[in-house]
Amino acid sequence: MKADVIIVGSGAAGLTTALALAQTLKVLVLAKGALSGGSTAWAQGGIAAVLDSSDTFENHIDDTMVAGAGLNRRETVEFVVERAPHAIERLIELGVPFNTHGNTLHLTREGGHSHRRIAHVDDATGWSVQQALVKAAHNHPNITLLAGQTCIDLITGQHELRYSGSGRVWGVYALDEASGQVWAHTAHVTVLASGGAGRVYQFSTAPRGATGDGIAMAWRAGARVGNMEMMQFHPTCLYNLDVKNLLITEAVRGEGGELKIPPGYPGAGHRFMPDFDARAELAPRDIVARAIDHEIKRLGLDYVHLDISHKPPEFVRGHFPNIYEKLLALGIDMTREPIPVVPAQHYTCGGIIIDLAGRTDLPGLYAVGECTESGLHGANRLASNSLLECFVFGEAAASDILDYWDSYAAPPPILPWDESRVTSSDEEVIIKQNWTEIRRFMWNYVGIVRSTKRLERAQHRIRMLTEEVTEYYGQFRVTTDLIELRNLLQSADLIVRSALKRQESRGLHYTLDYPDTLAEAKDTVLVP
Ligand code: FAD
Ligand code: SIN
């Protein structure tokens, strides 16, 4: 297909960009699997914005910089924080039914925030946001939504019929999941809004498709990536052997939930967070996740307890109706008993390097949302700043594309996808096994606490698997699983290389070999 602008991804970042561009341009939105299959639909806590008269932009900026351990770009933080109230207004116009308290929005609180500033829809904010955006995009005559398209690689000057070899981006090659054919979708401008790479870890709160595809595609096409070692671990994911990725929102701690040692161990029932940080359960995520990890390893626990049963049952059910029901179905009544929790990978703070207009290094390519490194999150994202980043940068990128539209030429004739690899593999089991292997060693060697030796072990395995997968990729017809495996490996490689480069501990990157934080905060930048 041809369009003015192609957007890869139909989450908060992609659809915000699409709606802002569609005033004048024809936009094609591509999604792997279902339209609501990204992280956006899974978001629980809400969206951070200064909306209360006792709060200020300065407070939100400071909280973001403190959580980010000074690695944030202040210019970006100011840019996003100052646009946050407008983002919430825009969502209200789109019909997002935020919770209210009298005539004002009800604001909840999460770790690292000095004030109540999280606008939310119960404990399932993302679902309401995703539905409102999809509805608006469906109804827009200038937007075409195409699900079931797994994008493989960016189309660049190398793929022009009259080879120019330039880095100019002209669209994407995508696997049509229904027919198994690969199509070339072309456009004047391409926007990556493809989400994070959380699934590179064995335990993650992110959906199945968070395999770092956009980051890997941009890297292969020649764009720089930054701070990939900053993978965020959420402190409280349900510990359950069957349900591996049920997040227990940070708002549970924001509304009074306490972390305790479970029965049967020394110090049973002890509330341990005050031993680690004066902000206790409301310290930034890196600190809380590391404290839980420390207690689990020190005492040989499977999990710790998150307890909000001291609050009235109607308060708990009223604030967390979805989590309450989900836990009840698993036999846990959170109004009467504690919830077993462990940390799990949650968010990719690094990604494709962009400027304040969402521009990447490559002409014709923008990027927005979790796949980017915009300078907002630094070494650790502040809770509920992620959806906000999608809305602010979606509008900023659209505005820049519209401003410079005349400079973006139409795509030249493009080579079709190389169909020489026509053989279907009968060794699907290898793909599954490699998926599992990467996720396991990334969890064990590149997790919450790292060391140079563990990182080098991971790097060695990545090299071996890359050889195997490259050979496999060169021979067989592509499938979504194979495309994702290739991107998982690429993302794992970028994370490990970045982690090895950072010879200090800062924010989410903690290494036993360099436990101190250097005086100067510097980005880790990888250049292809
Ligand atoms: P996503 O919403 O992940 O969308 C990615 C899109 O890209 C999808 O449409 C996907 O299909 C598409 N895609 C990916 N690869 C390809 C490909 N190869 N080809 C075609 N399409 C592709 N943040 C907050 O601010 N507040 C919260 O309360 C909050 N809660 C969270 C709870 C959970 C459980 C999780 C996992 C995350 C939470 N986050 C929260 C983080 C936040 O949800 C995400 O960072 C944000 O939604 C990312 O939006 P996005 O548009 O960048 O990507
Ligand atoms: C949560 O609800 O705890 C997730 C919030 C976030 O990731 O920002």
> What's the CA-to-centroid distance between 41 and ligand 2, angstroms?
12
Using only C-alpha atoms, the chain has a radius of gyration, in whole angstroms, of 22
> What's the CA-to-centroid distance between 87 and ligand 2, angstroms?
18
> What's the CA-to-centroid distance between 39 and ligand 1, angstroms?
3
Do the strands 100-101 and 104-105 form a parallel or antiparallel pair, or are they unpaired?
antiparallel
Q: How far apart are CA 481 and CA 483, in angstroms?
A: 6
Do the strands 149-155 and 525-526 form a parallel or antiparallel pair, or are they unpaired?
unpaired
Question: Would you say the C-alpha torsion 457, 462, 463, 465 has a positive or negative sign?
Answer: positive
Give the residue whose CA is nearest to atom 28 of ligand 1.
45
Q: How far apart are CA 54 and CA 116, in angstroms?
A: 9
- Lookup: tokens for 5: 């602008």
User: 18 and 137 in contact (C-beta within 8 Å)?
Assistant: yes
367-403 burial code (b ≥16 CB/10 A, e <16) = bbbbbbbbbbbbbbbbbbbbbbbbbbbbbbbbebbee
CA angle 380, 381, 385 (to 5 degrees): 170
Residue 502 designated active-site: no
Please give the pLDDT value at position 464: 96
Mutate to test the pocket of ligand 1, among 386, 391, 485, 490 (most ligand atoms within 8 A of CB): 386
Strand partners, 187: 3
Q: Per CATH, which fold does 235-346 belong to?
A: Flavocytochrome C3; Chain A, domain 1 (3.90.700)
Please give the pLDDT value at position 422: 60
Class of domain 2-229+349-407: alpha beta
* Catalytic residue (one of 117, 285, 454, 486): 285
Instruction: Find, among 343, 345, 341, the residue nearest to 211 by Cα.
Output: 345
What are the residue ranges spanned by the domains of the chain? 2-229+349-407, 235-346
Q: How far apart are CA 151 and CA 478, in angstroms?
A: 11
Q: What backbone torsions phi and psi does residue 400 show, to the nearest 5 degrees?
A: -70, -40
Q: How far apart are CA 232 and CA 209, in angstroms?
A: 17
> What's the CA-to-centroid distance between 41 and ligand 1, angstroms?
7
Q: What backbone torsions phi and psi does residue 138 show, to the nearest 5 degrees?
A: -55, -40
Strand partners, 160: 414
Sheet holding 339-348, edge to edge: 231-238, 339-348, 304-307, 258-260
DSSP assignment letter at 260: E
Ligand 1 atom index nearest CA of 386: 25
469-474 contacts, C-beta under 8 A, 24 or more apart: 469/434, 472/425, 472/427, 472/430, 472/431, 474/421
Instruction: Find, among 526, 233, 250, the residue nearest to 380 by Cα.
Output: 233
Q: Strand, helix or coil at 233?
A: strand
User: 303 and 246 in contact (C-beta within 8 Å)?
Assistant: no
Q: How far apart are CA 271 and CA 57, in angstroms?
A: 33
Please give the pLDDT value at position 171: 98
Please give the pLDDT value at position 425: 67
User: 192 and 218 in contact (C-beta within 8 Å)?
Assistant: yes
Instruction: Find, among 500, 492, 507, 498, the residue nearest to 526 by Cα.
Output: 498
Give the residue whose CA is nearest to atom 1 of ligand 2.
249
Mention every residue, 6+ apart, whose C-beta is less than 8 A from residue 403. Answer: none
User: 358 and 88 in contact (C-beta within 8 Å)?
Assistant: no
Ligand 1 atom index nearest CA of 40: 47
Task: Please classify residue 433 by burial: count the beta carbons closer than 10 Å to its beta carbon, then call 0-12 exposed, 13-18 middle and 19+ buried.
Answer: exposed
Please give the pLDDT value at position 471: 86
Q: What is the secondary structure of 319-368 as a DSSP string?
A: H-HHHHHHHHHTT--TTTS-EEEEEEEEEE--EEE--TT-B-SSTTEEE-
State if residue 205 touches ligand 2 by the CB under 6 angstroms criterion: no
- Ligand 1, pocket residues at CB < 6 Å: 8-14, 30-33, 37-40, 42-47, 125-126, 149-151, 193-195, 205-206, 209, 213, 247, 347, 369-370, 384-387, 390
State if residue 446 touches ligand 2 by the CB under 6 angstroms criterion: no
3-state secondary structure 73-135: CHHHHHHHHHHHHHHHHHHHHCCCCCCEECCEECEECCCCCCCCCEECCCCCHHHHHHHHHHH
- Lookup: tokens for 361: 């290094």
- Each residue's pLDDT, cut to its tens digit, for the chain (528 residues) gives 999 999 999 999 999 999 999 999 999 999 999 999 999 999 999 999 999 999 999 999 999 999 999 999 999 999 999 999 999 999 999 999 999 999 999 999 999 999 999 999 999 999 999 999 999 999 999 999 999 999 999 999 999 999 998 999 999 999 999 999 999 999 999 999 999 999 999 999 999 999 999 999 999 999 999 999 999 999 999 999 888 789 999 999 999 999 999 999 999 999 999 999 999 999 999 999 999 999 999 999 999 999 999 999 999 999 999 999 999 999 999 999 999 999 999 999 999 999 999 999 999 999 999 999 999 999 999 999 999 999 999 999 999 999 999 999 999 999 999 877 666 766 778 888 999 999 999 999 999 999 999 999 999 999 999 999 998 888 888 899 999 999 999 999 999 999 999 999 999 999 999 999 999 999 999 999
Q: Strand, helix or coil at 234?
A: strand
